[in-house]
Structure 1
């Protein structure tokens, strides 16, 4: 999500991986807003899902943790060009900016409600708050920051078992910091906060990413870095498989035998994103580390294509949300819905009436259209950033 890496020292494996997850992420958002029942049906519910729908959702699980992890790596790389004090100021200011973007710009795209009756706290919120917390920790050695990240990742599942009294200060703090899963907080009778991303579990992922930024120092050769990343990927994968087989700790949703082997396999893979469980982090970060290890010297058309999106992630993220919602409005009227159906009772999303949307095959077609339409503006802005040095570019 960040553009901390200087133009002359951009690491292409980071841009390739980030570009890939940005495109996959768009699939989830197209499904959210243009699939029949997208907002109301849980694609990972074994009782109602089917394999194609399940894996359409499951593959997008890799996006947020890798997004946050790469932000941590980028923060470390930013620190190689700044003093600690300068890095603290940059991270805090960028974190505050991202929280503002989430509350104002992304919330509007999410709901299409200019009255802001519902504020959504999603991945940009989590990254912004994590940056602020990372900024407060940068005085510590990178290995200590990484250790704190591991403690948060390994230990926060313990907190999910706590059951404080509802609506107490303790209850609110635990939800905001550790356990948010579509938690709704009422500001007043007509305004709510919809919290999907608990802060500290995601902060743990960013802190771990900050530590992994150290492998990009000059004293590491590309071969050594590849070895470290591959072994780290394998370790995370083995830990995931081991914990999942034990089926006791590391995820609040144990897997279980289902009606056939395919559904049992789906249940095994169905780890929890809200909040990101230990098993979820192991599985997703293993894949991210693996791709980082193998793409540092990749030279092909696919790598070049992905680098375009990965070099301007914030720009792409905002544009893709508004483009999807713009298409949502067009489809709404094209399907014959009336202006009286723009608002659906008891939902914060406008232009999402019952019965709205396409089948899953059409969702994939729209997804391809979205990413191809965004290629050219992303390529333009990527080239612009390479030839300009205005201060505000580091915030986009």
Structure 2
């Protein structure tokens, strides 16, 4: 979503469009960095050892653990900045117009998840397995936010904090406790099967905590109307506060995550246990761990974009465009690697159950981390020119459909 504001309020750069249109470079930059990191996780999904859990301390390695851990920052930042972008869009929309846009955009993301991205992941249309992942949750977050933006600011913040800080109080409630409403609890709080049988639907991203992050992101947008000194001081204090809150609450091992950390065989492995917080759904500690540093990065980038990081702006300006293309490219590369290594690519188009998602890997499938990092870099470099082209197209034109991709 475009992020716009008056140039006198924050460090911003003209996008070359009609007078008064500006983008917040700090937000584009953070979003661009995060989406590049996200691609690393998806390359590992396709080229790593099937079924291996990178954060299982009994089987993982330190490099594999931290490769997965760094990608944990992606989803929380996307949801946070979705809310912030929505608030900043009020510079060019009324609240009723924004509500309509959020609803239509949200519905579009849900359709993309179920059709376009499902095919990108599985390269088939049999719908034996459908996962409701990040675009599904982002879509619903926008739809819910369309209503929340009409609340008083304090009420919206209260709803967001309650969802983020309080949802772990409900961890002990199983979906079966709701009887006929069991699917609703799966959608809201507990990952699980929404539909079973020959065609299964699995909810990976339960909605409640993500809705809260998006609402708080919307509230965060208010700081971009402040002067730079006040805004930067506030981002620094809040970011450090969330980091300190994570460390203190995690040390207590009482609340905030379903799985306590344990002393391991060495300090590095104990640190890994300490950092191993739950993502599905994101626990309070998971969100403190990821959103605190994200706010510190927003503070650091608020003063300007470091030259070495400027290429990331191209990705941050067209995140959905990059998101869709990179899955297709990664899957195509996996097909090529499978053909070269095995001479048979049939399994790359079959995903009959959740255990064979997103494809049925041949025996011995899986590359080492150096190869995964090399493929990741190749994917990012290959998509950079396309993202620059599309960012330029969006800068020059204002066709309505460009707001949906």
Normalised by the length of structure 2, the TM-score is 0.92
* Corresponding residue for residue 370 of structure 2: 361
Q: Distance in 2 between matches of 1:348 and 1:293?
A: 39
Aligned mate of 2:241, from 235, 238, 260:
235
Equivalent residues of 2:164, 2:213 under 8 A apart: yes
Q: Distance in 2 between matches of 1:349 and 1:137?
A: 35
* Cα gap change, 1:344 to 1:282, in 2 (>3 Å): closer
* 1:227-266 matches, cutoff 5 A: 227-266=233-272
Shift of 1:184: 2.3
* Corresponding residue for residue 69 of structure 2: 58
* Corresponding residue for residue 383 of structure 1: 392
Tell me, which stretches of 5 or more residues in structure 1 are unaligned? none
Equivalent residues of 2:262, 2:270 under 8 A apart: yes
Equivalent residues of 1:106, 1:318 under 8 A apart: yes
Shift of 1:167: 8.2
Q: Confirm whether residue 192 of structure 1 aligns to residue 200 of structure 2.
A: yes
Q: Distance in 1 between matches of 2:300 and 2:104?
A: 34
* Corresponding residue for residue 129 of structure 2: 118
Q: Distance in 2 between matches of 1:299 and 1:282?
A: 25
Q: Any idea what SS the aligned residue of 1:110 has?
A: helix
Q: Distance in 2 between matches of 1:306 and 1:387?
A: 20
Q: Confirm whether residue 392 of structure 1 aligns to residue 398 of structure 2.
A: no
Q: Any idea what SS the aligned residue of 1:179 has?
A: coil
* Corresponding residue for residue 273 of structure 1: 279
Q: Distance in 2 between matches of 1:351 and 1:153?
A: 36
Shift of 1:340: 5.0
* Corresponding residue for residue 213 of structure 1: 221
Q: Distance in 1 between matches of 2:57 and 2:232?
A: 38
* Corresponding residue for residue 131 of structure 1: 142
Equivalent residues of 2:3, 2:22 under 8 A apart: no
* Corresponding residue for residue 22 of structure 1: 35
* 1:16-165 matches, cutoff 5 A: 16-37=29-50, 40-165=51-176
Tell me, which stretches of 5 or more residues in structure 2 are unaligned? 6-14, 16-20
Q: Distance in 1 between matches of 2:333 and 2:361?
A: 12
Shift of 1:357: 2.4
How many residues are aligned here?
388
Q: Distance in 2 between matches of 1:344 and 1:289?
A: 39
Normalised by the length of structure 1, the TM-score is 0.94
